[in-house]
């Protein structure tokens, strides 16, 4: 894949109907990539922004359903004739105390954020392996490294996805397939609006959880637009040998991995509690 120009390169993006996925799809399409995006319900495409409808071809895919993933990838390959870049973006967040969050809903979260990625990978990897080329970009999160209180289950899915990415890099290297992760910090999307909440009315955690959520919402208001993620991905798509994982977002988000490297864990926990107003 090294040396290819953007023009004609075929890209499949899961969860491309809004937020980061839509921004990436449009950014790459404007630079000459041929972009297909997935959505669970094709009947909703007519309500998408006109620019998105014109520049991106949408396919039906529910990443929680193996048959749906198979059909979606099969249709993509029928239309595209092959694949150059896969971007695993589909996912959502949850918020609530670990003690009170139903296990079944945590399982559903992993079904999308982790197993959804795995289902798509298992359909696409054989094609890339036969081609002897391809680039896989998994959208993880800085929350996978810096765990946000009351968003622990979301962080766990993204931590798992970082591990999956690292393992894939090793397993697919002999076949000429490149694998990397992009880990966004706070990005101004509707992520908070669609976050799955769970907290009892009389929860003993309520005062701390509400403080934490206020901080999360304030950060979202100040966060950069998803274009910064699109720009990062476009740069990675041109790299001959991308590294394991790239933080993305505002200046602080990009610098946070340095904190992880040099700050002792106890101090990092203390800084997190202070930042989210838990102390």
Residue 88 to residue 80: CA distance in whole angstroms:
18
DSSP state of 55: H
**DSSP H stretches of helix in 114-226:** 115-131, 152-172, 206-222
Long-range contacts of 152-159 (CB under 8 A, 24+ apart): 152/98, 153/94, 153/98, 153/101, 153/106, 153/109, 154/93, 154/94, 154/95, 154/109, 154/113, 156/110, 157/91, 157/109, 157/110, 157/113, 157/114, 158/113, 158/183
45, two tokens: 């495409």
CA dihedral (125, 33, 169, 225) positive or negative: negative
Catalytic residue positions, numbered: 154
């Amino acid at each position: 894949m090294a040396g290819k120009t953007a023009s004609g390169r075929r890209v499949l993006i899961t969860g491309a109907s809004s937020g980061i996925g839509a921004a990436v799809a449009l950014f790459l399409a404007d630079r000459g990539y041929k972009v297909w995006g997935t959505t669970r319900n094709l009947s909703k495409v007519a309500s998408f922004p006109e620019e998105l409808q014109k520049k991106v071809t949408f396919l039906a895919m529910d990443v929680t359903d193996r048959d749906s993933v198979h059909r979606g990838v099969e249709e993509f390959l029928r239309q595209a004739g092959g694949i150059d870049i896969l971007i695993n973006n589909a996912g959502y967040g949850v918020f609530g105390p670990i003690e009170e969050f139903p296990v079944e809903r945590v399982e559903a979260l992993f079904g999308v954020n982790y197993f959804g990625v795995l289902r798509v990978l298992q359909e696409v990897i054989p094609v890339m392996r036969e081609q002897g080329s391809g680039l896989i970009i998994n959208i993880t999160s800085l929350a996978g490294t810096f765990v946000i209180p009351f968003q622990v289950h979301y962080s766990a899915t993204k931590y798992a996805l970082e591990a999956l990415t690292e393992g894939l890099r090793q397993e697919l290297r002999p076949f000429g397939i490149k694998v990397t992760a992009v880990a966004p910090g706070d990005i101004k999307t509707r992520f908070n609006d669609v976050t799955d909440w769970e907290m009892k009315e009389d929860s003993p955690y309520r005062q701390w959880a509400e403080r934490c959520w206020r901080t999360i919402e304030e950060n979202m208001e100040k966060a950069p637009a998803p274009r910064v993620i699109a720009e990062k991905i476009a740069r990675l798509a041109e790299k001959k040998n991308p590294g394991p994982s790239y933080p993305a977002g505002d200046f602080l988000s990009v610098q946070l991995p340095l904190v992880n490297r040099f700050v002792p864990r106890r101090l990092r926990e203390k800084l997190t509690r202070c930042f989210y107003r838990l102390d």
